[in-house]
Amino acid sequence: MMVLNDKQIAKRAAQGMIEPFVDKQVRDVVVESNYEGKLVSTTGKKLTKVVSYGLSSFGYDIRIGTKFRVFSNAHGCPVIDPKNFEPKVLVEIEVEPHEAVIIPPNSYVLGLSLEYFRIPNDIIALCHGKSTLARSGILVNVTPFEPGWVGHAVLEISNMTPLPAKVYAGEGIAQVLFLKGEPPATTYADRQGRYQDQRDIVTSRV
């Protein structure tokens, strides 16, 4: 297998592999508060640092979207069972771009990648957390993007600390590496995988 470099990723992105696609690393953006006090994009000149995203030398740093599901056991669920998952333990939250969602101590949230992926049949993508978040005790878990898979990625973001932690919507959350190989006999699309073409936060399915 071969890992795609920035030129190869950009070429595949132009064919629809990543959408939207940012062809460089972004570390600051222009934002300001609107009349409600929320952060919004603007054409002003004030720059605000963000958790970086966009094309890197041998990967692509994806962003987390604005919709989240935060774990809460307010309903008193006795056990988490992946084969019979209780969706009530996840509370839906939506924030503005560059606003933070709070992850409770020793808990997690689910989020949706801002980017939509169309993985070619000769590519498998591996997703890793960013060091900026990992050094703050925030870990990201995502399964591989298999050949033939399309959709927004659902990311599990864990707060490993005893304190509340922030994750910023619309900013970098994880890095994706793209590996090229011979197309498999059966792709994710061929076997009609459970999470094909997901456009919202989909919980555990068996």
- Return the half-sphere exposure (C-beta side, CA atoms, 13 A cut-off) of residue 138: 25
Provide the pLDDT for residue 123.
Answer: 98
Give the tens place of pLDDT for each residue, 52-62.
Answer: 999 999 999 99
- Token output for 109: 């949230």
Give CA–CA dist 149/123, Å, rounded.
10
Confidence at residue 70, expressed as pLDDT on a 0 to 100 scale: 93
Active site residues: 156
Q: Are 172 and 61 in contact (CB under 8 A)?
A: yes
Tens of pLDDT, residue by residue over 83-129, are 888 888 889 999 999 999 999 999 999 999 999 999 999 999 999 99
Q: Where along the chain do its domains lie?
A: 2-180
Per CATH, the homologous superfamily of domain 2-180 is Deoxyuridine triphosphatase (dUTPase) (2.70.40.10)
